Amino acid sequence: MVKAFTRKSPESLLSETRCSPAEKPPSKAQVEQSMKSLFDEPVQEDPDEYLDRMLAEETYKTHRTHLVFQVGEIDPGKDKDTVERLVKLTRQLRNKTLYRPVCLPGPNLEARIEHLVAAFPNFQRVTRSIIGVHAKLLARGIDHRMPPVLLLGPPGVGKTVYAEAAGELLSAPVLRLDFASENSPSGLAGSSTFWANSSPGRLFSILANGDNENPVANPVVFVDELDKAPKNSQYDITGPLLRLLEKASAQKFVDQSVPHITVDASCIRWIITSNDLESISEPLRSRLVVFNIQPPTPEQAKQIAQNIATKTVTSFGVDGFYAKLPDKILADCATMTPREARIRIEIAIGLAITEDLDCITPAIWESSALDEEPLQERRRTIGFI
């Protein structure tokens, strides 16, 4: 005799598979409501945010994007000109979307990292442990925040040139801030709306507009000579830097000139240089990974000089110029700082090209020599009998 198969009702099926014996089985109405909720439309996001996201996806089709700007309400108590300025700026920002693409380091990364090591051998620790690792993680699609770096060393060892080269490796726009010439925090964090000529700082501008074009969420900000920042309690230009170097506070950065917009500046890559560590406050030091950059060894100096010559010839765009430096010139360069060698080599190559030569000759090298004694020092020896 074949047993008849009886189809279980939804209630009994649910009670056996989803409820413990101690629980009361759901009612039919509860089951229907539960099934209905599976097909309910998701809660709609804010229309403006939805449009921003869709526009970002359309604009940056081949890039990961990051929400950099969040727009709040403009204070209606501001004067008419200020409100008009803020409305215009907000409209321009929305036209580009509030998102920015995440800048990736580009192809042939391993070879380019090795080239950076070869060009700056006395910086190889920071290249391999910080810049290179960060670039490789980004290339693998991993969201990674590069720790802020402080390059500490005497003048002339190549800190500035290295920072610019690191920005090239990361394929990112570079914003340079010379703290020796800054006299207020407005250059970095904008000026207050209290002033009639209030304008956003350079940090807001590079995130909004890029380096004239192609704005990204993670530009490189290069702060030169942090130790030379003016020590003025009324206008402490390092104050905004304290907030920007910490991820949590950088995610909620507000430019004084645009107080209704919150900026996520946490993706910025910071490279900072200094000649002296004692002049930097302890709170700032604690936020930085410090690398002591030593002057290059004689062999490293020769390697740096040859890389400078090769790069200079390439930048001049001259065909047929022989960039290999003779041993005698390399030996001279080994006695110079990288800065001195770069200036001398660039002068020598320029002289050779104007003389229609295809290499730096000994005579050209001698002609490119810089004054060893400053002019003002020589003038002191001139007198009358």
Q: DSSP secondary-structure letter at 367?
A: H
Query: Do residues 192 and 229 share a domain?
Result: yes
Q: Which residues pair with 151 in a beta bridge?
A: 273, 291
Whether 35 is in a domain gets the answer: no
Beta strands in 186-326 (DSSP E): 220-224, 261-263, 269-274, 289-292
Which pLDDT score, from 0 to 100, does residue 136 have?
96
Which pLDDT score, from 0 to 100, does residue 158 have?
87
Find the domain containing 315 and state its range. 298-373
Whether 378 is in a domain gets the answer: no
Tokens of 347: 């002068």
Whether 20 is in a domain gets the answer: no
**178 phi/psi in degrees, rounded to 5:** -95, 100
Which pLDDT score, from 0 to 100, does residue 79 have?
84
Identify whether the C-beta of residue 277 lies closer than 8 Å to the C-beta of residue 152: yes
CA distance 202 to 189: 7
Query: Do residues 265 and 333 share a domain?
Result: no
If the chain, 385 residues long, is cut into consecutive pieces of 10 residues, what is the mean pLDDT of each piece?
43 39 56 52 59 70 84 86 89 89 92 93 95 95 94 90 90 85 68 67 90 86 86 70 93 91 95 91 93 92 90 89 93 90 93 94 89 47 38
Query: Do residues 210 and 172 share a domain?
Result: yes
Identify whether the C-beta of residue 306 lies closer than 8 Å to the C-beta of residue 325: yes
Residue that finishes a domain, picked among 260, 292, 324 = 292
Query: Do residues 253 and 155 share a domain?
Result: yes
Which pLDDT score, from 0 to 100, does residue 80 have?
87
Whether 1 is in a domain gets the answer: no
Query: Do residues 226 and 347 share a domain?
Result: no
Closest of 207, 204, 275, 276 to residue 240, by C-alpha:
204
Query: Do residues 177 and 309 share a domain?
Result: no
Which pLDDT score, from 0 to 100, does residue 257 have?
87
Query: Do residues 255 and 345 share a domain?
Result: no
Whether 11 is in a domain gets the answer: no
Query: Do residues 133 and 282 share a domain?
Result: yes
Which pLDDT score, from 0 to 100, does residue 213 have?
73
Whether 42 is in a domain gets the answer: no
Q: What is the pLDDT of residues 48-97, one digit of tens each?
A: 666 677 777 777 666 788 999 999 998 888 888 888 889 999 998 888 88
Q: The CATH number of the domain where 149 resides is what? A: 3.40.50.300
Closest of 352, 281, 280, 366 to residue 318, by C-alpha:
352
Query: Do residues 91 and 127 share a domain?
Result: no
- Burial (CB count within 10 angstroms: exposed 0-12, middle 13-18, buried 19+), residue 221: buried
Which pLDDT score, from 0 to 100, does residue 16 have?
38
Query: 41: number of CA atoms within 13 Å, CB side?
Result: 3
Whether 163 is in a domain gets the answer: yes
Query: Do residues 221 and 337 share a domain?
Result: no
Whether 162 is in a domain gets the answer: yes
Residue bearing tokens 């490279």:
271
Q: The CATH number of the domain where 342 resides is what? A: 1.10.8
Query: Do residues 138 and 226 share a domain?
Result: yes
* Structural domains counted in the chain: 3
Query: Do residues 71 and 180 share a domain?
Result: no
pTM over 0.85: no
Residue that finishes a domain, picked among 264, 292, 320 = 292
Residue that finishes a domain, picked among 292, 316, 333 = 292
